[in-house]
């Protein structure tokens, strides 16, 4: 956690992803875990950490969203930013989900994205463009916004 705080406060993030930007190519070597095939899918890229209180509340809701849309070309990729993989695994034992999880072991993607709070999610369309950004988790407000945005993107041709 401290490395992330130091990186962000020191301005190490070389880029800040925003709506309209293309998602940078994800390199399997930068992650612990297996990257799913994201090509042609609507993707929710969710940055989270074991020490994040709102992440504990968001996980059951994200699991419901994933179950609702996974058969329609939607995937959630949970990106953990913990320095210690044991902390990530302990969190997942208590907050199990069926969507793919990877650990940004060198915190390179979180730095590139310019993520400043946990959780932060990027909703990405089928062409790989970031269409919306969600900082934090505000319960039903966030869930409703995500569902509306996901429906819209899944219905685009």
Distance CA(43)–CA(46), nearest Å, equals: 9
Instruction: Please confirm, yes or no, whether 55 is among the known catalytic residues.
Output: yes
Instruction: Please confirm, yes or no, whether 120 is among the known catalytic residues.
Output: no
Q: How many CB atoms lie within 10 A of CB 141?
A: 11
Distance CA(130)–CA(70), nearest Å, equals: 19
Q: Which helix (H) or strand (E) holds 145?
A: helix 140-155
Q: In the chain, what's the furthest Cα-to-Cα distance? A: 43
Segment 100-156, tens digit of pLDDT: 999 998 888 888 888 889 999 999 999 999 999 999 999 999 999 999 999 999 999
- The catalytic position among 26, 45, 55, 101 is 55
**Residue among 14, 31, 35 at smallest CA distance from 77:** 35
- The catalytic position among 44, 45, 49, 52 is 52
Segment 5-60, tens digit of pLDDT: 333 333 333 458 888 888 888 887 789 999 999 999 999 999 999 999 999 999 99
- Domains along the sequence of the chain with CATH: 34-155 (3.40.30.10)
């Amino acid at each position: 956690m401290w490395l992330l705080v130091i990186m962000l406060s020191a301005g190490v993030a070389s880029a800040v992803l925003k709506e309209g930007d293309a998602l940078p190519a994800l390199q399997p070597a930068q992650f612990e875990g297996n990257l799913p095939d994201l090509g042609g899918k609507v993707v929710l890229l969710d940055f989270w950490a074991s020490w994040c209180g709102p992440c504990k509340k968001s996980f059951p809701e994200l699991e419901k969203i994933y179950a609702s849309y996974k058969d329609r070309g939607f995937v959630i990729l949970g990106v953990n930013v913990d320095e210690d993989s044991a902390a990530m695994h302990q969190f997942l034992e208590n907050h199990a989900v069926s969507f793919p999880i990877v650990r940004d072991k060198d915190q390179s993607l979180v730095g590139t994205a310019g993520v400043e709070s946990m959780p932060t999610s990027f909703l990405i369309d089928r062409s790989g463009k970031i269409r919306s950004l969600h900082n934090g988790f505000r319960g039903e407000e966030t869930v409703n916004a995500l569902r509306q945005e996901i429906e819209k993107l899944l219905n685009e041709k």
